[in-house]
Homo-oligomer: A and B are copies of this chain.
Amino acid sequence: MSLIEDRRDLHRHPELGFTEFRTAARVVERLTSLGYQVRVGREVMDPDQMLGVPPSPQLEAARTRALEEGADPAIVSRMAGGLTGVVGELEGGAPGPVIAVRVDMDALPIAESAGDHHAPVREGFASIHPGVMHACGHDGHTAIGLAVAEAIAGRRFRGRLKLIFQPAEEGGRGARPMVAAGVVDDVDRLLCLHLGLGLELGTVAAGLTGFLASEKLEITLTGRPAHAAAAPQAGRNALLGAATIALAVHALPRFHGCDTRVNVGVLESGTAPNIVPANARLVLEVRAERGDVCDDLRARVEAIVEGTAAAYGLGRQISPLGQTAAFAPDPELVALVAEVAGSSGRFERVLNTHPAGGSEDAGLMIRRVQERGGFGTYIGIGCPTVGPHHSDVFDIDEEALDLGAELVTRLLTRLLPA
């Protein structure tokens, strides 16, 4: 299948984070057929480090659907519990550096536009999974990963190539269990990439910057119900505790010299007007330009939750839902990317760095590589889009796919010399 065919097949079968059973099974089949050593599931993910795993019935429904759509049952059986990460490795002919490419595979809980103006509708590759859509270009990323796998498969080189297909990037959930499983511990150079981000066709940014560290948390509070008229004093009011936490989290201070964000995105509490609410659930996030500040904010949120729970006589539980790291691309690797892109003759405009903003859990992988002495970068591939990222009319310009695949292939050729 061609790069565009691959992308359209993936676009038509979008899968949410940790349910990429069909997608990952396709990747396993393809990499295996190309001669890669392929590891999957528990071999490349630490289940204890997975955050925000969908409940079992949802996992099961997605698994069943994947099988119905042709996924190999033997492969899917290795992904039980949402372990949908895949790593394919190719050993070169002689010792040398370990070079990795990381792409992400998951879609979003968005109902794709059914309008005639929407190219996937016109061309017949719109999502057939109601309420799920590739609205961030990960279909393109995975397709590029497969194209690169094919391009390198036949070549001679020294060192080792590692292709990482990560699940559940949305929400910052999938990188963490792969890092914990040691997937990038031996990597010397790590290339990550994203299409779009406002960059025009023919433009490349060798190192995206400005990603914020982030923590997403779920808080549950447990009080005691009581009849609000007959015995209000017998209740322990989880709703008031949750309201107090929401206000206190939003009142966390700004940090001089480090941009931060806080948001309580969900508060749900109570059942009936005449019952003292005994349960509450909050979902919130904190972000910061610096990892230590993000940790500080998280610690402050924990103190708020624990103190407020004590103030209102409530039990409380704090569960991580997602995590991303702030990171900076390594200048040496950025320079190499810029040089290779510039000399390729295919990019009209080469930026060293470009501020991307937002959060991205590839940062956890880059940070681990850097901690162990390696280099990493996050490359932006110019790609006009219809609609903004995460909108229901989002679509990419497929011309960018080949540009991305070629750039990564050229980089691997340089980093894994013959």
Contact = CB atoms under 8 A, between A and B. Distances in A.
Interface of A: 171, 212, 214, 216, 228-233, 235, 237, 239-240, 242-244, 246-248, 250-251, 253-256, 259-277, 283-285, 287, 293, 296, 300, 303-313, 321-322, 357-359
Given A273-B263, A308-B311, A313-B303, A232 B246 contact: no
A133 to B, nearest CB: 15
Contacts of A266: 239, 269-273, 277
Nearest to A283: B273
Contacts of A303: 310-313
A172 B265 CA distance: 33
A244 B230 CA distance: 25
Contact of A212 (B229, B237, B255, B277): B229
Contacts of A268: 267-269
B304 A357 contact: no
A230 B267 contact: no
Given A243-B246, A358-B230, A253 B235 contact: yes
8 nearest A-B residue pairs (beta carbon)? A307-B311, A307-B310, A228-B263, A243-B243, A250-B251, A266-B270, A265-B273, A232-B253
Contacts of A284: 273
A235 to B, nearest CB: 7
Contacts of A300: 313
Nearest to A309: B307
A277 B265 contact: yes
B246 A233 contact: no
A405 to B, nearest CB: 29
14 contacts: A229-B358, A232-B255, A232-B256, A233-B254, A239-B246, A239-B266, A240-B264, A243-B247, A248-B312, A254-B259, A263-B273, A267-B269, A273-B285, A307-B311
Most buried by B among A233, A240, A255, A263: A263
Contacts of A233: 253-256, 293, 296
A305 B359 CA distance: 35
Nearest to A313: B303
A229 B287 contact: yes
Given A212-B229, A239-B246, 19 more contacts: A232-B253, A232-B256, A232-B261, A235-B253, A239-B266, A243-B246, A243-B247, A247-B247, A247-B248, A250-B251, A265-B275, A266-B271, A267-B267, A273-B285, A303-B313, A304-B311, A306-B310, A306-B311, A307-B308
Contacts of A246: 239-240, 243
Contacts of A260: 254
B267 A242 contact: yes
Nearest to A266: B270
A265 B254 contact: no
